[in-house]
Amino acid sequence: MSMQVIAERIRGFICLNAHPTGCAANVDAEIAVAQQGAAAGTPGTGLGAALVIGGSTGYGLSSLLSAVFGYGAQGTAVCLERPPQRERTASAGWYNLAASQRRARSAGREIAVINGDAFSGEIKDQTLARLKQAGRKLDLVVYSLAAPKRVDPSDGVTYSSVLKPLGDSYRSKSINLGNEEVVEVEIGPASEAEVEATRKVMGGEDFAAWVHALAEADLLAPGCRAVAYSYIGPALTFPIYRSGTIGRAKEDLEKTTAELSALLAARVGGAAYVSVNKALVTQASSAIPVVPLYISLLFKVMKAAGTHEGTAQQMARLFRDHLGPGRQPRTDGEGRIRLDDLELAPDIQEQVTALWDQVTTENLSALSDYAGFRTDFRKLFGFEVPGVDYALPVETDISIST
Ligand code: NAD
């Protein structure tokens, strides 16, 4: 037992603690969106079993909740989260999955959680053993990892990803999340070794290792679909994203996914897809230079246009229109599902670019939705969630059944 009043402890783009009641309220709100989204889809159809690698926060959590609460799947989530330790709270993803498990249980379903390094052979083996034991073959595999480093299990080498441009230095406006000022940043180009390290962490190798391991273990159901998430974004952020180190890694992920699609087709009559999602506030995206300022301007314009979505709405749309039972994904010329269509709509981007040119520290709150970014960031950790009384002590020692 550890009852305490919890106040947020934020350092730049990192929050050191999390609020269990706030995280549980976020999960409930996401479940409501997942159920609404599914109700608007094909009625009476469901998913048998879904595995979400990176299923504790952001896009992965929303995918898990859509599959389980929208389509009745039995879920398995793999994640790397910190359990509570005495007075120290758990990480947000821990509380998210604890709340998701409770809700699943009362709905007569199960969410199994494997907490550990998804890149490792050991966690893959544990996951396969769990699925075998449950007698579950997967209809859906979601790959939603966002990680700063990876130990390659084949040789034990540690690779660290970097967020840098290629070729030339990049100068841009950015928000200093520490003092909330609009500043000019200059980011030097990546070395070849950094490009390769980022590919090793965020490219397709580990997604392929998972799909191969699941296929070898005969854990894929007929027609199984696998999906990994990518991002493209506007020309404004190309140097730091799509044309930078992370973009190279995403190209690798997209190429690997096409190869995996052929494997799934041959083995189980299934397919693999990349879904290009919208820029949203998550723990991963908040750490990318320049992106928080872009997101703040984007939110202002998309909220005014009535086209703004969060991760829950994006994933509900992914299932309803593309990956849900009985749905055939619609893809672009390169075989990718495009959930970034509303973000990249020309009228939206024209307005964002015009605001980008004008934004300064002084007019940041008038021109952008930085307030929305700030709130969304705190909400990721269970803070500033409507309806939660933060003056009350709460139990932080909450367990997950693993
Ligand atoms: P996130 O930080 O919210 O989630 C990352 C997940 O990975 C968490 O569940 C975390 O526990 C897990 N994880 C990290 N390292 C791990 C490890 N070693 N072993 C096991 N689990 C580990 O990130 P997100 O923004 O939801 O990103 C998920 C995917 O979506 C990424 O591929 C990202 O590039 C993509 N994407 C994100 C955005 C965006 O704006 N956030 C947009 C488009 C695509």
Tell me if 100 is assigned to some domain. yes
Q: Is 380 in the pocket of ligand 1 (CB under 6 A)?
A: no
Instruction: Give the sign of the dihedral formed by CA 36, CA 37, CA 41, CA 47.
Output: negative
The mean pLDDT value of the chain amounts to: 95
What range does the domain containing 195 cover? 3-395
CB distance 139 to 225 below 8 Å: yes
Closest C-alpha to 147, from 276, 77, 84, 54: 54
Q: How far apart are the C-alpha atoms of 24 and 352, rounded to whole Å?
A: 33
Q: Among 40-54, 215-229, 312-326, where is mean pLDDT lowest?
A: 40-54
Q: Is 119 in the pocket of ligand 1 (CB under 6 A)?
A: yes
| Locus of tokens 């693993």 | 402
Q: Which residues contact 401 (CB under 8 A, 6 or more apart)?
A: 101, 113
Ligand 1 geometric centre to CA of 59 (Å): 7
Q: Say whether pTM exceeds 0.85.
A: yes
State the pLDDT at residue 326: 87
State the pLDDT at residue 243: 97
Ligand 1 atom closest to the Cα of residue 230 is: 44
Q: Which of 15, 80, 95 to mutate to test the pocket of ligand 1 (most atoms within 8 A of CB)?
A: 80
Tell me the average pLDDT across 76-84: 98
Ligand 1 geometric centre to CA of 143 (Å): 9
Tell me the average pLDDT across 88-116: 97
State the pLDDT at residue 286: 86
Q: Is 295 in the pocket of ligand 1 (CB under 6 A)?
A: no
Amino acid at 375: T
Residue 283 φ then ψ, to 5°: -60, -35
Tell me the average pLDDT across 358-372: 97
Tell me if 374 is assigned to some domain. yes
Nearest-CA residue for atom 6 of ligand 1: 54
Looking at residue 22, the DSSP 8-state letter turns out to be H
Q: How many structural domains does the chain have?
A: 1
Q: Which of 275, 278, 285 to mutate to test the pocket of ligand 1 (most atoms within 8 A of CB)?
A: 285
Q: Is 79 in the pocket of ligand 1 (CB under 6 A)?
A: yes
Q: How far apart are the C-alpha atoms of 151 and 345, rounded to whole Å?
A: 39
Q: Which of 14, 23, 52, 59 to mutate to test the pocket of ligand 1 (most atoms within 8 A of CB)?
A: 59
Residue 117 φ then ψ, to 5°: -75, 105
Catalytic amino acids? 241
Q: Which residues contact 307 (CB under 8 A, 6 or more apart)?
A: 342, 345, 348
Closest C-alpha to 43, from 326, 329, 317, 270: 326
| % of the chain surpassing 90 pLDDT | 92
State the pLDDT at residue 277: 98
Ligand 1 geometric centre to CA of 249 (Å): 14
State the pLDDT at residue 44: 57
Ligand 1 geometric centre to CA of 167 (Å): 27
Tell me if 133 is assigned to some domain. yes
Residue 261 φ then ψ, to 5°: -65, -40
Q: Is 24 in the pocket of ligand 1 (CB under 6 A)?
A: no
Q: How far apart are the C-alpha atoms of 206 and 145, rounded to whole Å?
A: 10
CA geometry: angle 167, 171, 175, nearest 5 deg: 130
Q: Among 107-116, 173-182, 230-239, 253-262, where is mean pLDDT lowest?
A: 173-182
Tell me if 401 is assigned to some domain. no
The CATH number of the domain where 302 resides is what? 3.40.50.720
Tell me if 371 is assigned to some domain. yes
Q: Over 80: is that where the pLDDT of 382 sits?
A: yes
Q: How far apart are the C-alpha atoms of 204 and 195, rounded to whole Å?
A: 14
Tell me if 215 is assigned to some domain. yes
Tell me if 369 is assigned to some domain. yes
Tell me the average pLDDT across 72-81: 97
pLDDT digits (tens, 9 = 90+) for 6-50: 999 998 888 999 999 999 999 999 999 999 988 776 655 689 999
Tell me the average pLDDT across 57-80: 97
Q: Over 90: is that where the pLDDT of 385 sits?
A: yes
Tell me if 402 is assigned to some domain. no
Closest C-alpha to 359, from 307, 298, 286, 306: 298
State the pLDDT at residue 310: 97
Q: How far apart are the C-alpha atoms of 10 and 33, rounded to whole Å?
A: 28
